[in-house]
Amino acid sequence: MKHVFENHDLSTAECGQLVDITDDVVGAVERSDVKNGMALVYSPHTTCAIVINERERGFFEDFNDFLEQIVPKEGPYYRHDDLSIRTEGLEDDPHDIPNGHSHVRAALLASSSQAIPIVDGDLLLGRYQKVFFCELDRARERKVFIQVLGD
Amino acid sequence: MKHVFENHDLSTAECGQLVDITDDVVGAVERSDVKNGMALVYSPHTTCAIVINERERGFFEDFNDFLEQIVPKEGPYYRHDDLSIRTEGLEDDPHDIPNGHSHVRAALLASSSQAIPIVDGDLLLGRYQKVFFCELDRARERKVFIQVLGD
Amino acid sequence: MKHVFENHDLSTAECGQLVDITDDVVGAVERSDVKNGMALVYSPHTTCAIVINERERGFFEDFNDFLEQIVPKEGPYYRHDDLSIRTEGLEDDPHDIPNGHSHVRAALLASSSQAIPIVDGDLLLGRYQKVFFCELDRARERKVFIQVLGD
């Protein structure tokens, strides 16, 4: 079995940004020389998601309006942001910039990764499908892992 | 490594339909002769999802009521449906039937695919688990890709 | 291709519990001796999810508050719980403890599994990422499948 792994660094600009990483994934598949297998696109972060959808500005804004509506950044009380109750030894992410909403949004989407089939050397994204790295926290330095497995 | 890929065409009837494709997946696994590996069930569309849940009419209706409640088809303004603002060269899906809600629903579920283990020749779906192709747009002609990988 | 499959039994305590199964997954990868491949963590249940996020008490409570807010346990009418309408031969899960909300929550998260890359023998979870089995029904006996594939 062939195996290619690539880390791609990226800098996000703001909460809700959908960074189109399709060319990175397609490039990794080409470099892998895998004819039949799959590409696994993975975010090693807890406040991000990998999402496949259309590259269309209206959708980007609709999706962010929706997330803001059901998991608002401001207003609700998030225990994650309340340092006074973090007393049980579970927390491992001390932070001073509140991001409780980011964790809930990431858990809602529950998409640390997306898997895409590779057949006869082609990544089988549909005509309108693009692969996005979705930033659910603020502007940050991020990594996206692309793994190609197959023969 | 063995590799079997099948495309199954299907015609959906309406928004929210959950098409049971379990038999297609089980059949592909049998045809593959893969003993240990995984089945990747993939939708190449931007307004659909692959969902695993119970085949039960009440659940189907509950789930659609829920989606309609949090991402209504009518009422909200979706920029995706506003052709006047599609001016940035990003859009690649000119359409005249509004489906902004379909894109948001698909991004919310964020499930272009589901992966299921195959062990000793058996697809390890639980007793009540069925695999569904979930139509989030209107009645359309669709494809579902089933890929079986393993030995 | 190497293949290791493990079933881990677990007893959940309540709806919304996030059971940290990271050590189970890491252990399975070590036992597999797979250097490059992936771990597929799979729930064979229809009212559970596999979620990757931070192990932090505040987040746990925020996430459950959110789920209760958008898919309440009490209050809404769930057809799934109405035995009088289950007349079409679809149902295969007769039950007397209402769990309509559990099915909708599971379908919303749409995460029967999570796949994680393995590179040079290491499971590539990010610094703050933990793997959770998420109970969306009541206290129950559950299974989680861990499959390691690769070379």
Q: Note the pLDDT tens digit of each residue in A10-65.
A: 999 999 999 999 999 999 999 999 999 999 999 999 999 999 999 999 999 999 99
Collapsed DSSP state (helix, strand, coil) of residue B100:
helix
Cβ contacts (< 8 Å) between A3 and chain C: which residues?
A: 36-37, 150-151
The residue in chain C having the minimum alpha-carbon distance to the alpha carbon of residue B129 is C46
N- to C-terminal Cα distance for chain C? Answer: 5
In this structure, of A91-95, B83-87, C107-111, C118-122, the range with the lowest mean pLDDT score is: A91-95
Inform me whether the C-beta atom of residue C124 falls under 8 Å from chain B C-beta atoms.
no
| Phi, psi torsion values for A144, nearest 5 degrees | -130, 130
Contact between C145 and B124 using a beta-carbon 8 Å cutoff: yes
For residue A8, the model assigns a pLDDT of: 98
- Copy the structure tokens of residue C12: 């959940």
CA distances (Å), origin C65, targets A68, C56, C71, C137, C147: 16, 15, 10, 15, 32
Nearest chain B residue to C142 by CA distance is: B126
Burial C51-65 (b: 16+ CB within 10 A, else e): bbbbbbbbbbbbbbe
Q: How many helices (H) and strands (E) does chain C have?
A: 3, 8
pLDDT digits (tens, 9 = 90+) for A71-111: 999 878 999 988 776 545 555 455 668 999 999 999 999 99
Q: For residue C88, which phi and psi values (nearest 5 degrees)?
A: -110, 15
At residue C148, the pLDDT reads 98
- Average pLDDT for A116-121: 98
**Mean pLDDT estimate for chain C:** 93
The residue among A40, A52, A87, A104 with the most chain C CBs within 10 A of its CB, best to mutate, is A104
Nearest to A48 by CA among A116, A144, A130, A129: A144
Q: Which residues in chain C are contacts of A44 at CB distance < 8 A?
A: 124-127, 129
Do A66 and A128 touch, CB atoms closer than 8 A? no
The residue ranking higher by pLDDT, C45 or C92, is C45
User: Residue written as tokens 């703050």?
Assistant: C128
pTM: 0.95
What percent of chain C is predicted at pLDDT more than 90? 86
CA distance A121 to chain B (A): 13
Most confident by average pLDDT, A7-11, B77-81, C55-59: A7-11
CA–CA dist B77, B73 (Å, integer): 10
d(CA A97, CA A106): 17
Low-confidence ranges of chain B (pLDDT < 70): 85-96
Can you tell me the distance from the alpha carbon of C136 to that of C109, in angstroms, rounded to the nearest whole number? Answer: 10
- How far does C75 lie from chain A, in Å, by closest CA? 19
Element (H, E) at A60: helix A57-70
B151/C1 CB distance under 8 A: yes
pLDDT recorded at residue C47: 97
3-state helix, strand, coil in chain B (%, to 5): 25, 35, 40
Is C52 an 8 Å CB contact of chain B? no
Cα C17 → chain centroid: 10
CA atoms within 13 A on the CB side of A93: 23
**Is residue A46 less than 8 Å (CB to CB) from chain C?**
yes
Chains that touch B (3 or more CB pairs under 8 A): A, C
Q: Is A66 on the interface with B (CB under 8 A)?
A: yes
A103–C52 CB contact, under 8 Å: no
What is the pLDDT at residue A92? Answer: 47
Put simply, whether B151 touches C (Cβ < 8 Å) is yes
* Predicted local confidence at residue A88, as pLDDT: 52
pLDDT value of residue C94:
53
- Give the pLDDT confidence score for residue A81 in this predicted structure: 87
More confident residue, C84 or B114: B114
Q: How far off is chain C from B62, nearest CA to CA, in Å?
A: 6
